[in-house]
Structure 1
Amino acid sequence: MTKIVVVDNHGQFTHLERRALRDLGVETELIDNETPPEDIDADGVVLSGGPDMDRIGNSPAYLEGDAPVLGICLGMQLIAEELGGRVDSGEYGGYADVNVEIVSNDDPLIGSLAPETRVWASHADEVVELPDGFDLTARSDVCDVEAMCDTDRDLYGVQWHPEVAHTEEGEEVFENFLEICRQ
């Protein structure tokens, strides 16, 4: 059975990420972000959202492993920042219902959602410059980088929260990540 760990970066929806995976029949575990990556045996890693970069614990170290990584909101931002991209305050600010344009059908995480999807996202902070090797895969009129991926390294990120009911095709994002982890 495929096992995916959810690394808790103290976000308010983290428990919903674990539940979404469990509801798909995935063996899943919610782990504290201070857990060393070498203590984990998993086929995939979800880096949860959270309140700020000062509380990400060992999350950056999970980017160096062999398992695919999905960063959600803060999780995506820490991927970008750790790998040479740039994160800054968003112009929009807080949570909003957003129409997202999928700009890459080749992204195995969100390409199936094309041409657009409706999501629930926070834009207090956002990726403003992609790291080397990453492709822009989604954008909106609120945020230029709603999603990104580096398929060579199996690193994926979404600014939005696929685990909440307000995101229309959130379950499909988790199904797609599960398929990535099984390959």
Structure 2
Amino acid sequence: MTRIVVVDNHGQFTHLEQRALRDLGVDTELIDNDTPPEDVDADGVVLSGGPDMDRTGKSADYLTADVPVLGICLGMQLIAAELGGRVGGGEYGGYADVTVDVVDEDDPLTGSLHPETRVWASHADEVKELPDGFELTAKSDVCDVEAMSDTDRDLYGVQWHPEVAHTEEGEELFENFLEICESA
């Protein structure tokens, strides 16, 4: 059975990320973000959302753990910041229902959602510049980088929350990440 851990960055929806994976039949566990990657046996990692980049513990260490990583909201911003991208304040602010344009229909994470999907997202902070090696995979009229992928390193990020009911195809996104983990 595929095992995917959810690294808890203290987001309000983190427990729903674990639940979404468990509902797909994944062996999953919610772990504290102070847990070092060498103490974790997993086929994939979800870096959860959260309120503060200063409270992400050892989350950045998972980027070199040689397993696929999915960053959600703050998790995606952490990936970008750690790997040379740029994160800044969003013009839109708090949570909202957003139509996202999926621009890369071949992307293993978001491609099946092409051409667009409705999501629940916060844009208080967002990725402003992609790190080297990443491709833009989705955007919206309120955010230029709604999703990004580096398929060579199996690092993926979405600005939105696929774990909440307001996101129309959230389960499909988790299914796609599960397939990535099983293929790695």
1 CA distance for matches of 2:25 and 2:3? 10
Residue 173 of structure 1 aligns with which residue?
173
Q: Superposed, which structure 2 residues align to 1:12-31 within 5 Å? A: 12-31=12-31
Identity %: 84
2 CA distance for matches of 1:71 and 1:106? 19
1:57-83 C-alpha deviation (Å, 9 max, x unpaired): 000000011110000000000000000
How many correspondences in the alignment? 183
1 CA distance for matches of 2:113 and 2:73? 18
Quote the offset at 1:106 in angstroms: 1.6
Residue 124 of structure 1 aligns with which residue?
124
2 CA distance for matches of 1:104 and 1:81? 22
Name the SS of the counterpart of 1:173 in structure 2: helix
Answer yes or no: is 1:85 the counterpart of 2:108. Answer: no
Name the SS of the counterpart of 1:16 in structure 2: helix
1 CA distance for matches of 2:169 and 2:134? 23
For structure 1, the 5+ residue unaligned runs are none
* Counterpart residue identity of residue 69, structure 1: V
Quote the offset at 1:51 in angstroms: 0.1
Name the SS of the counterpart of 1:168 in structure 2: coil
TM-score normalised to the size of structure 1? 1.00
2 CA distance for matches of 1:80 and 1:160? 15
Residue 110 of structure 1 aligns with which residue?
110
Tell me which stretches of 4 or more aligned residues in structure 1 moved more than 6 Å.
Answer: none
Name the SS of the counterpart of 1:20 in structure 2: helix
Name the SS of the counterpart of 2:5 in structure 1: strand
TM-score normalised to the size of structure 2? 0.99
